[in-house]
Structure 1
Amino acid sequence: MKYINTNFIFQKAILLSTIGLLMACNSNSKVVKTAEVTVPEKPNVLFILVDDLGYADLSIMGSKFYETPNIDKIAKTGTVFTDGYAACTVCSPSRASLMTGQYPARHGITQFEGKRNSGQAWKERKRYTKLLPPEYRDHLDTSTTTIAEAFKENGYATFFAGKWHLGGKAQGSLPTDHGFDVNIGGYDAGGPSGGYFSPYNNPYLTNLPEEKGLNLSMKLAQETNDFITKNKDGHFLAYLSFYAVHGGIQTTKEKWTKYRNKAEKMGIHETGFEMERVLPARKYQDNPVYAGLIEHVDEAIGTVMKTLKDLNLDKNTIVVFTSDNGGVTSGDNFSTNQLTLRGGKGYQWEGGTRVPYFIDVPWIKQTGASIQVPVSGVDLYPTLLDLSGLSLKPEAHKDGVSLKPLLLGENIDDRPLYWHYPHYGNQGGEPSSIIRKGKWKLIYYWENLNAELYNLEADLGERNDVAASNPEIVEQMQTQLLDWLKSMDTHYAKVDTEWDQAARKKWLERQKTKSLPAQEKQRKKMLSPDWQPNKDWWGSEVKINNIK
């Protein structure tokens, strides 16, 4: 484990973990032992989850285009886990892992909820893939004790706001079925069905007349502020789960203008996309609508942090900030680029799983510490229990470990991290399983039963597959991965015995000849001075009065 007290920026070839250029007065910072601090009894917890936010989609994580001062403050006062990962490359599996402390291979939700993406139903989508993805659990099972239930058992008021996507009313799997006292806006939808401005078209979210045009992220923040205020004299777990920055992306004309002009000042490239294996991928961070959407989230988070401070709760509230998967470089709205990292949401490479991962514990003097130990979303459940002085529930969070020792300057046992995604992603990902051990990362592909091996210390961008020159490492890691999968009793994709290889080749060629030019055309339109989006979301320009 390494601690570094300088700023965290991207270099041309490798991402270096340094946190100091953006963080003042960190030269003497240190992490102190438990005996030297006074831990509040039953501290509060604010868990902030942003949907589809990429590892490099924050200014503190290297972006020169996006502006996120409020989120940056969480990292500056807390700890940045530079090798922090989501448990899956897409949302529902990762979100279930945050709730349960279990890997997707164990809890059974291996693909996003919604339209089925397995077997014959997948084949009817005419992607012409070699494999047919397996069936998977379509909602969060109530048999497992969630993080919300664990805190509720200990006398905490529990609150959920935003995107749930782990089942709905029909399945008996709303947030209130899993330990949350209050649910604002969470159901089985994976995106903002009514867009990002009121009225929201969400059955669990009010649409007040005076809120017309209010952006959704601020609405969720206001509801969170109200909950915190009402429970300021008790103990609470507030889980703020933004729908942003999921597609379809929207912002205001004011913010679009700001970032469109910024893109022009930075220099607009003639071409903005390149082909990955399957789909076009965005090459640069230059999407002004996406940038504006990120700023909406940052402003909303700023109001919640201000509420904690105004109520004098900032000294006894643990704050977690993370994302459910990587940023969208391909598919959906082709919104962003992850700089040094390869791929994004849905992909098996680092851009699909490595995410912003910050923990701020006020009574531990972190002040921008950086920890380079690989950690996963499954670890946050036991970590928050441990930091709150509550008993762990190893029978529930079976795959997660407490990161409290790391925050206190100590160590945790070395361990591998695992991923299992036996599906084809909408963003270009392939059915695969992954193991990371130390600097090594092995990706096992189910189409050809072959593996790629990357040395992440030397090749964070995963451009140099070194499997051929390291057969012993491949054999050892592959065996360990397959043995682990067998112990999970999980499900796998199967070969389509009627696979039309020629049709698949034609489909892939169309992505080059049609999808790529279409994305280039859309990008140029969005960056042109006279661009006009859908007419239904400029209404956010209306001044909102009497909004708390």
Structure 2
Amino acid sequence: MPSKLASVVYCCVIAFSAVSQGVIASAADKPNVLFIFLDDFGWRDAGFMGSDFYETPNLDALAARGMVFTHAYAGAANCAPSRACLLSGQYSPRHEIYNVGTSRRGKRTHGRLMHIPGTDTLRTDIRTWAHCVREAGYRTGTIGKWHLSDDPIPYGFDFNFAGTHSGSPPRGYYPPHGNIPELADAPKDEYLTNRLTDEAIEFIGQDSDRPWFLYLTHFAVHTPIQGEPELVKKYQQKQPGQLHDHPVMAAMIESVDRGVGRIIDSIDSLGQTENTIIVFTSDNGGYGPATSMKPLKGYKGTYYEGGIREPMFIVWPGVTKAGTTCDAPVINLDLFPTFCEMTGAKLPDQPIDGVSLCPLLAGEPDGVFESRSLFWHFPAYLQSYQRLDGQRDLLYRSRPCSIIRNGTWKLHEYFEDGGLELYDLQADPGESTNLAESQPQQRERLHGLLKTWRESTGAPVPTEPNPDFDADDEAREIARRLKKRDA
């Protein structure tokens, strides 16, 4: 049963949505929705976000037609929990997907606590925005990565292409693709990103008396880092940028961007441009060994800004003004009530932690977004990969922690050692100066809000000691990696 505070939050969301229903009345009746969701696409991995090497002319053109959110966040720092937050509109303690899989990540002798395993499947009693939108009369489809169960169809989708429990491309970006029936006919030279684009165009073009809602959830740019050969060659011959310089990542991004251009051309040819909302974002920070989120610290798997802040824009003809930006902190949970309001769908009878973005999209100032807090909870471990400069220690991208952002302030709490890190993101977006000692009032204020939120959501905090923990072995491994890093 939800707590009293959770019920209050839910009721506030319902009331807020009802107040702002006027936005939909001014838009075209029952707009189509194209939701483009990338995997491991970092905050600065597009031209409109400042990349000096990757080429994204189609995404840049779309972003210029709508509103770009400069402080948009994922619900978690890696794939499955972020997607569970997105689909449910709930923070992770409610759906209990905390990590990719439920087993311990990293060496068992490292890490002082037993992790909270949670689950690896989104519960079927949780209603998704796809359920709501379909009940509002939409034809719903998901194409690409799903990662929350064996089959997305029970979660409100009429159509699924290639969505399974797999979190990475079935066998890479070229066939064979393993146990994916929809890809059994893939020609040997067919690049997966291009096939998903083809399927999206076919879905959009189907004759129907219902508006459509397409969740195009690309596997790109998740590992394996594998691009189309001609594009890789192009970027190998290009002058590296100061921010980005990875030719294969650049090729993967261009394949996505070309596909977006083809889809937009198809929508234009069908005469649906003025009646189609386009939403674009990503599931977590970029893949650290291949890209950079500077000046943000961190990357996929860390709860520093580079691991959770995302590129995001929304184009809503007749509502958003071209070339606008929004600096209010928003999170992917907000898309649930936003999608419902855009489509005239009813919110379900369950806690929804997100808040509709429709007033922001219409240019209406709203203090809710400036005063509210955003939260992250990770009661688990996520081991390092070869890049080590954007995390708290050399063994794990993240150890068990909770995070809060309130206004420009952000507080990290780490459960192994009780460590608190406080940052003023306005002055220090790179989270380089910990103000926990010099700003005790802010530290205690945010820590109090964070603890209250954990209580209200029933967030589990790991306390059981790891019986296999070996402090000497952990120290030796940290020393070894430190020596290697500084060599």
Q: Do both share a fold (TM > 0.5)?
A: yes
In 2, the alpha carbon distance for the partners of 1:245 and 1:127 equals: 32
- 1:398-437 Cα offsets, whole Å, 9 max, x none, are 1011111111121331210000011222342222111101
Change (3 A) 1:502 1:328: same
Aligned to 1:499: 469
In 1, the alpha carbon distance for the partners of 2:400 and 2:365 equals: 34
Q: Contact between 2:27 and 2:317, CA under 8 Å: does it hold in 1?
A: no
Aligned to 1:449: 418
Q: Contact between 1:290 and 1:335, CA under 8 Å: does it hold in 2?
A: yes
Matched, 1:104 2:58: no
Change (3 A) 1:445 1:263: farther
Change (3 A) 1:444 1:204: farther
2:146 to 156, 159, 164: 164
Q: Contact between 2:24 and 2:344, CA under 8 Å: does it hold in 1?
A: no
Alignment of 1:205-354 (within 5 A): 205-208=182-185, 211-231=187-207, 233-263=209-239, 266=241, 284-329=243-288, 334-354=289-309
Quote how far apart the aligned CAs of 1:127 are.
5.6
Letter in 2 for 1:255: L
Aligned to 1:200: 177
Aligned to 2:162: 185
In 2, the alpha carbon distance for the partners of 1:515 and 1:294 equals: 29
In 2, the alpha carbon distance for the partners of 1:142 and 1:389 equals: 23
Aligned to 2:479: 509
In 1, the alpha carbon distance for the partners of 2:175 and 2:424 equals: 47
In 1, the alpha carbon distance for the partners of 2:23 and 2:141 equals: 31
In 2, the alpha carbon distance for the partners of 1:202 and 1:254 equals: 28
Letter in 1 for 2:60: D
Q: Secondary structure at the match of 2:383?
A: coil
Aligned to 1:64: 52
Matched, 1:371 2:326: yes
Q: Secondary structure at the match of 1:205?
A: helix
Q: How many residues align?
A: 451
- 1:335-381 Cα offsets, whole Å, 9 max, x none, are 11112110011111000000011111011141021011100000001
In 1, the alpha carbon distance for the partners of 2:92 and 2:220 equals: 23
Unaligned stretches of 5+ in structure 1?
Answer: 1-32, 169-173, 268-283, 518-548
Letter in 1 for 2:99: Q
Q: Secondary structure at the match of 2:142?
A: strand
The runs of at least 4 consecutive aligned structure 1 residues that moved more than 6 Å come to: none
- 1:41-71 Cα offsets, whole Å, 9 max, x none, are 2111111100010001111101101111111
2:359 to 367, 380, 405: 405
Aligned to 2:398: 429
Change (3 A) 1:397 1:249: farther
Aligned to 1:137: 119
Q: Secondary structure at the match of 1:131?
A: coil
Q: Secondary structure at the match of 1:441?
A: strand
Letter in 1 for 2:338: T
Q: Contact between 2:133 and 2:343, CA under 8 Å: does it hold in 1?
A: no
Change (3 A) 1:506 1:481: same
In 2, the alpha carbon distance for the partners of 1:76 and 1:202 equals: 40
Letter in 2 for 1:356: P
Matched, 1:386 2:341: yes
Quote how far apart the aligned CAs of 1:75 are.
1.0
In 2, the alpha carbon distance for the partners of 1:499 and 1:36 equals: 55
Task: Name the Cα RMSD after superposition.
Answer: 2.0
Q: Contact between 1:378 and 1:397, CA under 8 Å: does it hold in 2?
A: no
Q: Contact between 1:34 and 1:408, CA under 8 Å: does it hold in 2?
A: no
Q: Secondary structure at the match of 1:224?
A: helix
1:418 to 354, 375, 381: 375
Aligned to 1:275: none
- 1:146-204 Cα offsets, whole Å, 9 max, x none, are 11111111111110111111021xxxxx1101111111000111101211123322414
Letter in 1 for 2:124: T
In 2, the alpha carbon distance for the partners of 1:41 and 1:76 equals: 24
Unaligned stretches of 5+ in structure 2?
Answer: 1-20, 385-396
1:148 to 120, 127, 130: 130
Q: Contact between 2:135 and 2:345, CA under 8 Å: does it hold in 1?
A: no
Quote how far apart the aligned CAs of 1:516 are.
8.2
Quote how far apart the aligned CAs of 1:88 are.
0.3
Q: Contact between 1:128 and 1:507, CA under 8 Å: does it hold in 2?
A: no
Q: Contact between 2:24 and 2:342, CA under 8 Å: does it hold in 1?
A: no
Q: Secondary structure at the match of 1:80?
A: strand
Q: Percent identity?
A: 38
In 2, the alpha carbon distance for the partners of 1:186 and 1:370 equals: 33
- 1:246-274 Cα offsets, whole Å, 9 max, x none, are 1111012222222122245x58xxxxxxx
Quote how far apart the aligned CAs of 1:500 are.
1.0
Matched, 1:490 2:455: no
Aligned to 1:528: none
Q: Contact between 1:91 and 1:325, CA under 8 Å: does it hold in 2?
A: yes
Q: Secondary structure at the match of 2:59?
A: helix
2:103 to 104, 114, 117: 117
Q: Secondary structure at the match of 1:262?
A: coil
Quote how far apart the aligned CAs of 1:132 are.
2.1
Aligned to 1:25: none
Quote how far apart the aligned CAs of 1:391 are.
2.9
Letter in 1 for 2:70: T
In 2, the alpha carbon distance for the partners of 1:263 and 1:499 equals: 47
Aligned to 1:91: 79
In 2, the alpha carbon distance for the partners of 1:39 and 1:399 equals: 25
In 2, the alpha carbon distance for the partners of 1:74 and 1:67 equals: 14
Letter in 1 for 2:280: F
